[in-house]
């Protein structure tokens, strides 16, 4: 099962500890996480079910390519990391 971790910034708002989740795409893995914490979905995905502009998702240190369908492949040995991009000046 893939390891899924979230930035500490999200942890301040919702419980999102590191989890191991089955799935062969980013979408499947995130759906597994959202099943345990449904409110987390709205922090990560917009109303069209796409990755929000201010959120970045990486698999093994590489940014995902498919921010719309989340179809990037994931294997059991992979780590998915989700964080909110920071902006400002």
Percent of the residues in the chain that have a pLDDT greater than 70, as a whole number = 96
Place of tokens 């914490």: 37
Report pLDDT digits (tens) over 22-63: 999 999 999 999 999 999 999 999 999 999 999 999 999 999
Q: With the C-alpha atoms ordered 22, 59, 25, 18, is the resulting torsion angle positive or negative?
A: positive
Predicted confidence at residue 49, as pLDDT, reads 95
Mapping DSSP onto H, E and C, the string for the chain reads CEEEEECHHHHCCCCCCCEEECCCEHHHHHHHHHHHCCCHHHHHECCCCCECCCEEEEECCEECCCCCCCCCECCCCCEEEEEECCCCC
Q: What is the pTM of this model?
A: 0.91
Query: Which architecture does CATH list for 2-84?
Result: Roll (3.10)
Domains of the chain, residue spans: 2-84
């Amino acid at each position: 099962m893939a390891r899924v971790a979230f930035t500490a910034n999200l942890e301040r708002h919702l419980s999102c500890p590191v989890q191991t989740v089955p799935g062969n795409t980013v979408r499947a893995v995130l759906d597994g996480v959202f099943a345990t914490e449904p409110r987390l979905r709205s922090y990560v995905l917009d109303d069209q079910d796409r990755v929000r502009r201010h959120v970045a998702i990486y698999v093994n240190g590489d940014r995902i390519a498919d921010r719309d369908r989340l179809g990037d492949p994931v294997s059991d040995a992979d780590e998915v990391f989700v964080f909110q991009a920071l902006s400002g000046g």
